[in-house]
Chain A
């Protein structure tokens, strides 16, 4: 498993910025909140489901005495079975995520982490369990959100973790600009373990529109290579076409595994992307 290569100072900076991020995530999640999804049958849970007559063998403690006092029979209170599901989340790290084209925009990492935390907050409210790739334990309960936020830097750099339970759900957030084969491998590995999931591509607007002009020497952020474009205006259409093709490839590989794919731009509000994600995760 690759080791997270987040420099310590950066991690500290992130840690310092996390509480506001968590607060923002809570705020974003608030706009998308909905109730716990019950299993529509009695079981473990807090919500009342039904009264049923006492049967021999029921523990005396389960008798609802208030209801029983209304008649001559004893009633037992049953609650709805609420099954908690595990959702595994992954957020792409790496220097390419720390890029932004304008100081007024958030970096892709900031936006991706915000979406991840907001989604986590929603899931916690729904009573679900949340895992991060590369971390041994799952998180649950609303109080766990800050802890999870602080664990973010320790999460795996690549979405591969053998400890993810089968039939869990997965959400991968990143720019997915790496070659399609890499993404296909990750998704295939997860799909092989019956994990269904969702890919969310977060891009900077400049990456989508290529707004530069003139003679520009583009330099890679994560990789040391560069490309000299004599006249950027001339290649803009070509670039957009290539990007569209890359996205089509992502969408196709997701669909092949029964996954879904969506895009998000850092200059768009995060709520829309979050709502779409949450819908995807809603029970069938």
Chain B
């Protein structure tokens, strides 16, 4: 059974629709990364789940309970904010203790002066202190408990924020770009730590990020949101290899996927270069479709007998690989290829090359962006004339 499910959430500010019916299910202990360009509505969705904002319509079910009418405090959701949002006037230890104190102690027990007269609170406070210390030790911040946020570094603050969120064992864990304020080295390190923490706690997590590498490396499943719509929710591997929409394919992958326009005839056959693709479902008449192929499945070679010919424009050396930018002679479109340094050494700017696409890795997209299931049925030999 899914522990968190969102059903058809919509939200608009005035005429501006931010969320256009988003549905999502998270299983027990799952880590879902919500990724998309800025302004796609992913942070709004997170705030709606947290109860900090209201959806215009749709249901939010947490652990079998519809929580739309429940206020944020009673949803038992914890959140880590981009700015960490630690209380600046409290020490790290007090910060971590706040959510526990708010839940365990009654209003009278929290009240200054009166609280000292109530016997039970001393026991509860000692218990809270013990838990704070345990949490801090497991995150290796026990030496920082007496410091205020202003005296800590970004990485330390981030850990305190994590501790504050985790200490009360929430039913759902939300993170809003928690690593974006860290420097690049620390960020990669913190990724691993968050994944570890998540494994240990086993709490389903919604993790919002605009960084595709964070999403792909950390999550069990990745949800790509673009323009207020959830376009695809799948495992990192699947969403990368088998995107359901051209926007998903474009958003994930660095450098971006190559997209070229071509014609599909009424029978659903597409010819591109030496390849002949057959779509499973033919569109009614001849249409323009898009062919997508990721840079790592494009091979540029210094032959001149290929059917698809291009001219190298520039190369970017990245150490283990080289990004080669070229322009197709026939279409005038740019094409990007990933090459090994050895392959790239044979290429130089201005050089005419032949382009080979991996026949199993070519994807077909409809004019409006949906993926068209298709497979390559024929690869013409380069010596023949494939074009009729």
* A and B assemble together: no
Residues of chain A whose beta carbon lies under 8 Å from any beta carbon of chain B = none
